[in-house]
Structure 1
Amino acid sequence: MNCKRYFTGALAAFMVASSAFMAYADGPVANGADPAGLTSAPGTENETAGVAAAETTAPAPAAETQGSASGIVTVGENTSAGTVDAGEGKVLAGGNTITAGGLAGPSAAGASGTITVGSGMTSGAFSGPGGVSTSSGVTIPAVVGTGNISFAGQLTDPIVKVTDKYSYDQMSRDISSLKSRYGSHLQVKTIGTSLDGRSLYEMIIGNPNASKQILIHAGIHAREYMTPLLVMKQAEHLLAFYDSGSYQGRKLSDILAGVAIHIVPMVNPDGVTISQFGVSALRSADLRQIVNQCYAQDQADGRTTQDFERYQALWKANGRGVDLNQNFPALWDSITTGPSHASYANYKGTGALSEPESKALANLANSRNWTMTISYHSMGNLVYWDFAGNKVAEQSKAIAELVTGITGYRTNGSSGKGGFKDYVQIKDSPIPSLTIEVGSVACPMPASEFGNVWNSNQAILAALADYAADH
């Protein structure tokens, strides 16, 4: 009986608190103002999660520039965003008491409270006031914090909007807007240029001169374009609550005084553009021709039976058919599983680091003494931390345990070769590293999957910074 009363009271407190929360921190969702165009269906091809490998055809010189920018001006394409919400109603909570907190975020961010839960997370369906349903039948899950965090409230005027196809141009505009809004809390650099002339951005949050440095990248595989959206929203939340938020009882500003988080949100912008909008969105006629040749060769080899539109949507490689996550010098010579020619997926290229995008990321990895790196991929809800010859296995495993404790994901063995994580774990001056595979449906994922991804990963940046500060 006492247990029943305890559970009933806890549930009531949770429902009251969650009603004050917005789903994954976007604007006034109760009024249907969260843009998300739910137009595409899940992909039909399963991702091989955590297998890192990059492909290259012919080497091309990259104009790699390094330097800070006070803002970014880009001409983006106008993307229409429908009025809808994302996510299958899912609440993540641990086994401890669920209580309503009184911590509020900054007035500019409009955070309305804190929910404290246990550290071990399990999934459960939730259809009460913490979720907002729309006429489409899609439910936005309520934001639930992990541990004692006070930056999980809603943002009344978010810059980064959840949309079905979060494009390079939208991301570029959002980076510029974040820089304008948050000023000195955010630095922006470019680490290189893609084959089709798109800048590869690096965002730095925290103290760039700190002794602890974290590198996070996303969007290295084209069809996995939910991961750039994820890291951009993670970055916006960290910035919005930089001065007033806390994690595990520590002020975020204090944590970030001794830690810098570097985010490369979209390593493969040309590939993302192909997957989202097709070959006609490429600027280079040569690259457009390569994509068409890839389709013809993949058809001839029996690698695809899809029509050309679907083939492009499933594009995984960069602009000239190289899988960037098989293009790093990590047993690259022994990769024999992919095609021998440029392709939409799994071609390792003509040589390790033959592509400007993989080379730019490798140069960044070798530019400083990193505390850790995180590679965001999709799908599978998995964390990969090991590799043959891993020189930092113990440290990588410890970080994996931190991440799985927050996300509820499981760890798995890694059998891939040529990946970024693999490379940085075995190189001279090795770096503890993880690959985090988000989502549970095939790529490209619809926006309806984002709520679950966000609930599992919203606290990761703060948790990693907190961990780095102590290690």
Structure 2
Amino acid sequence: MWNTPCDSRRLEEALYALNNLYSFVNIEVIGQSVLGQDLYHITIGEGARKVHMNASMHANEWITTNSLILFLFHYCQKIDCDGEIENKKARELFKETTLSAFPMINPDGVNLVLHGVKCADIEREKVLFINEGSMEFHHWKANIRGIDLNNQFPANWEIEKERKEAKRAAPRDYPGDVPLTEPEVRVLYTLTEKENFDSVLSLHTQGEEFYWGYMNKEPKISKKMADEFARVSNYKSVQMIDSHAGFKDWFIHEYRRPGFTIELGKGINPLPISHLPSIYDRCSKILVAQLAFDTKG
């Protein structure tokens, strides 16, 4: 799958292979998308420190799933052979940290971007209406109902609702009628409440930068983590942006713990699969840094 965009079917194939290769990987279905596709959650590790990573919140940012799955294979391989990943002993990370990964939050949207309206199923007519009759979906960020999943969280959602140009279902930027209406968002929200993560990280594209603050509610340790992420990846560290209702925003607002939005790569979304090697080289360094960082230290 490393040379091919990762849709929902290829994700399932990759997870099947991961599960067969490594007995210490736990894979579970934690919900379904609007169109009934399984939403997968992976856990690796046995440590008290709990970190979460997710990808493909936005449909045309599917290369984030490729990046995260590639990292999981690389990490598991190093655990299995007692090797190092980014100069860290993989088995020590395994013992110290429990990794939670949600590799494709928006499978319906990803499939729509990659394969067109034939994947919209019962939502076909609605999708075409939202897209103004166009059969081109490369710009589509939302889920299949035209709701932007990263504008659905209860962290000053009302501000985003008021100022977004989109006032109804749209290919991007419509936050819905109220927060947490979409099943994909509710699954992530519930998972986060249940697992009580020490830090979270959401992969997006593009910009080669990351955001780590929210209304000065982030803990002091977030700055130290941001400095380390910037050091290892050479991505630009941005504390504040004028944004609300995202997953990172809600996590910081609700838990006062480190949360990050990582904008992988540069270009126009969707970034081509040929960018994956260079994206992964820097992304993997950030992911290992998150695994290794002691947020309580």
What is the rounded CA distance, in whole Å, between the counterparts of 2:168 and 2:61 in structure 1? 22
Mapping for residues 41-80 of structure 1, pairs under 5 Å: none
What is the rounded CA distance, in whole Å, between the counterparts of 2:258 and 2:247 in structure 1? 12
Q: Which of 205, 209, 218 pairs up with 1:382? A: 209
Q: Which of 92, 95, 98 pairs up with 1:254? A: 92
Q: Which of 7, 14, 18 pairs up with 1:174? A: 14
Q: Which of the pair is proportionally richer in helix?
A: 2
Find the counterpart in structure 1 of residue 230 from structure 2: 404
What is the rounded CA distance, in whole Å, between the counterparts of 1:289 and 1:396 in structure 2? 44
Whether 2:61 is the aligned partner of 1:195: answer: no
Find the counterpart in structure 1 of residue 64 from structure 2: 227
Q: Mark the runs of 5 or more structure 2 residues left unpaired by the alignment.
A: none
TM-score (norm 1): 0.60
1:248 positional shift: 7.1
Decide whether aligned partners of structure 1 residues 329 and 469 sit closer, same or farther in structure 2, where only a CA change above 3 A counts.
closer
What is the rounded CA distance, in whole Å, between the counterparts of 1:372 and 1:366 in structure 2? 12
Q: Is contact 1:321-1:345 (8 Å) kept?
A: yes
Deviation digits for residues 428-454 of structure 1, max 9, x if unmatched?
x33311110001111011112112101
Find the counterpart in structure 2 of residue 323 from structure 1: 148
1:263 positional shift: 0.6
Whether 2:265 is the aligned partner of 1:439: answer: yes
1:288 positional shift: 1.2
- After superposition, the CA RMSD in angstroms is 1.7
Deviation digits for residues 311-343 of structure 1, max 9, x if unmatched?
x12110001000000010111011122311100
Q: Higher Cα Rg: structure 1 or 2?
A: 1
Q: Which of 275, 285, 290 pairs up with 1:449? A: 275
Deviation digits for residues 137-164 of structure 1, max 9, x if unmatched?
xxxxxxxxxxxxxxxxxxxxxxx4231x
What secondary structure sits across from 2:151 in the alignment? coil
What is the rounded CA distance, in whole Å, between the counterparts of 1:204 and 1:231 in structure 2? 13
Q: Is contact 1:255-1:469 (8 Å) kept?
A: no
Q: Mark the runs of 5 or more structure 1 residues left unpaired by the alignment.
A: 1-159, 297-306
Q: Is contact 1:385-1:393 (8 Å) kept?
A: no
What is the rounded CA distance, in whole Å, between the counterparts of 2:71 and 2:53 in structure 1? 11
| 4+ runs deviating over 3 angstroms | 247-250, 468-471
Decide whether aligned partners of structure 1 residues 280 and 467 sit closer, same or farther in structure 2, where only a CA change above 3 A counts.
same
What is the rounded CA distance, in whole Å, between the counterparts of 1:393 and 1:198 in structure 2? 36
Whether 2:40 is the aligned partner of 1:214: answer: no
Mapping for residues 19-30 of structure 1, pairs under 5 Å: none
What is the rounded CA distance, in whole Å, between the counterparts of 1:430 and 1:365 in structure 2? 13
Q: Which of 185, 193, 202 pairs up with 1:366? A: 193
1:251 positional shift: 2.5
Decide whether aligned partners of structure 1 residues 250 and 278 sit closer, same or farther in structure 2, where only a CA change above 3 A counts.
closer
Find the counterpart in structure 1 of residue 77 from structure 2: 240
1:217 positional shift: 0.4
1:249 positional shift: 6.1
Q: Is contact 2:78-2:85 (8 Å) kept?
A: no
Higher-RCO chain (CA-CA 8 Å, sequence separation at least 6): 1
Find the counterpart in structure 2 of residue 466 from structure 1: 292
Q: Is contact 1:252-1:462 (8 Å) kept?
A: no
TM-score (norm 2): 0.94
The residue type equivalent to 2:207 in the other structure is: G
Decide whether aligned partners of structure 1 residues 273 and 182 sit closer, same or farther in structure 2, where only a CA change above 3 A counts.
same
Decide whether aligned partners of structure 1 residues 280 and 249 sit closer, same or farther in structure 2, where only a CA change above 3 A counts.
closer
Q: Is contact 2:219-2:257 (8 Å) kept?
A: no
Count of aligned residue pairs for this structure pair: 293
What is the rounded CA distance, in whole Å, between the counterparts of 1:235 and 1:247 in structure 2? 11
Q: Is contact 1:385-1:414 (8 Å) kept?
A: no
